[in-house]
Structure 1
Amino acid sequence: MINIVGQIMLYVNNQEESVKFWTEKAGFTVLSENDNGAMKWFVIAPSKDAQTSIVLHNKEVVAKFSPELNFGTPSLMFFTKDLDQLYKDFNDKNITVGEIVNIPGGRVFNFADNEENYFAVTEIK
Structure 2
Amino acid sequence: MIKALGQVMLYVNNQEEAVTFWTERLGFTVIANEDGQGMKWIEVAPSKDSETSIVIHDKKLIAEMNLDTPSLMFFSENLNALYEELKSKGVTVGELVDMPNGSVFNFADDEDNYFAVMEKG
Deviation at residue 73 of structure 1 after TM alignment:
9.5
* Corresponding residue number in structure 1 for 2:6: 6
Deviation at residue 20 of structure 1 after TM alignment:
0.1
Residue identity matched to 2:32:
S
Q: 1:8 to 1:25 in 2, by over 3 A?
A: same
Q: Is the 8 A contact 2:8 2:71 kept in 1?
A: no
Deviation at residue 71 of structure 1 after TM alignment:
5.6
SS of aligned partner of 1:3: strand
Separation (CA, whole Å) in 2 of partners of 1:70 and 1:30: 25
Q: Is the 8 A contact 1:11 1:71 kept in 2?
A: no
Residue 27 of structure 2 is aligned to residue 30 of structure 1: no
Q: Which has the higher contact order (CA 8 A, sep 6+)?
A: 2
Q: Is the 8 A contact 2:43 2:56 kept in 1?
A: yes
Separation (CA, whole Å) in 2 of partners of 1:24 and 1:52: 19
* Corresponding residue number in structure 2 for 1:70: 68
Separation (CA, whole Å) in 2 of partners of 1:18 and 1:71: 20
Q: So what's the TM-score if we normalise by structure 2?
A: 0.55
Hey, which bits of structure 1, 4+ residues long, moved more than 4 A?
71-74
Q: Percent identity?
A: 54
RMSD, matched Cα: 2.0
Instruction: Map 1:1-125 to 2 at 5 A.
Output: 1-64=1-64, 66-67=65-66, 69-70=67-68
Residue identity matched to 2:38:
A
Q: So what's the TM-score if we normalise by structure 1?
A: 0.53
Q: Is the 8 A contact 2:28 2:45 kept in 1?
A: yes
Equivalenced residues, count: 72
Q: 1:3 to 1:37 in 2, by over 3 A?
A: closer
Which runs of no fewer than 5 residues in structure 1 stay unpaired?
A: 75-125
Deviation at residue 37 of structure 1 after TM alignment:
4.7
Structure (1/2) with the larger strand percentage: 2
